[in-house]
Amino acid sequence: MTLLADADARLDAMIVDAAALIRCESPSEDLAAVARSAEETARVIGARFGEAGLPSEPERIEIDGVVHLRWSLGDGPRRVMLLGHHDTVWPVGTLERIPFSVVDGVMRGPGCFDMIVGVVQAAHAVAMLAARDGAASVDGVTLLVSGDEEVGSLTSRGLIEDEARRHDAVLVLEAAGPGGALKTARKGVSWYELEARGRAAHSGLEPERGVNAGIELAHQVLALAHVADTAAGTTVTPTRGVIGTTGNTVPAAARVNVDVRARTAAEQDRVEAHLKALAPVLDGAEVTVHGGINRRPLQRADAAALYERAVRLAPSVGLELSEIAVGGASDGNFTAGVGTPTLDGLGAVGGGAHAKDEHVLVAHIPPRTALVALLVEDLIASPAR
């Protein structure tokens, strides 16, 4: 049986596994929910690994209350790491409005596209190889499923980077780009909080005694528009903000989150230097910038050799691949940042990440799973470095 035929035969099982994980809601900031999700992920993947003669129990790595899962297969040199995450952006209760379903070949449910189906594909790709050729065939493979990617991988970053350094290559099972495109470049991400402080006063009786932090913040936000560089692909976006405490008080404090995306580390550094140098406009106001660079860019050079392998292997599973550079970041930024060749976007084909129309096209699951299996097999036979 070919790997594609095996993946086709596993489709119903993969849908069952995805359903189990989607129905175990896992918003990143709810540590109890993430812990439940980790156990369900361990159960689902462990069952498939056990069927294939592989160790079923992962290492449970808890860091600051967040549970991450690692299966390190065999004792040989670490050849390839498959990387995913089991947390999602959706709060507990979302299933009541967006239940899991598969209708007319379209899967829906919170987290299905980002990135539950990718985690399932990774597990089945490894299990397929082991079931066909024995556990020794995946000696040197690591599957790492983290629990806080959606909030910046604050606890898992060190773990991911350390694992990446040990491996010859990293395959990231994040969702694909439009039409199934693999992600060969991702912008770097910087996250800041811009805080303005002034002086409170009664807004009706003596507003002149106050220093309005909201107005100070408005000056700063408007100035941010000039920091972005459209030609360079650098975006500087104020997002969530808070001003003041009551409706009849000159606000003494105001703050806004700022999301920065850049194609190069040099652009990230330029924007950071500008933000750290911000000075207040109003007399008596203060401005403070918190945060910094979260992820360096994933450059195409980090992915090029692995993408060429994927293009070479894809026709045997009926795929014709394309590539895309995207603004969103992933844990692949971290693995590329430590110098390990990284290919991203090998997961589900669909759309609607973080939106109510999140969905996965079921027909793409088997060939993409088979492609991951082929890449793992190829990287074990011919290491990337």
Strand pairing category for 350-351 and 182-186: unpaired
Q: Is 149 exposed, middle or buried (0-12, 13-18, 19+ CB in 10 A)?
A: buried
CB count in 10 Å sphere of residue 342 = 31
Strand pairing category for 235-243 and 141-146: unpaired
Q: Is 231 exposed, middle or buried (0-12, 13-18, 19+ CB in 10 A)?
A: exposed
Three-class secondary structure of residue 152 per DSSP: coil
DSSP 10: T
The CA–CA distances, whole Å, from 194 to 235, 251, 327 equal 16, 15, 22
CB 123 within 8 A of CB 48: yes
Q: Is 152 exposed, middle or buried (0-12, 13-18, 19+ CB in 10 A)?
A: middle
DSSP 178: G
Residues assigned a catalytic role? 87, 149
Rg for the chain, CA atoms, rounded: 23
- What does the buried/exposed string (b/e) look like for 46-69 if buried means 16 or more CB atoms within 10 Å of the residue's CB? bbbbeebebebebeebebeebbbb
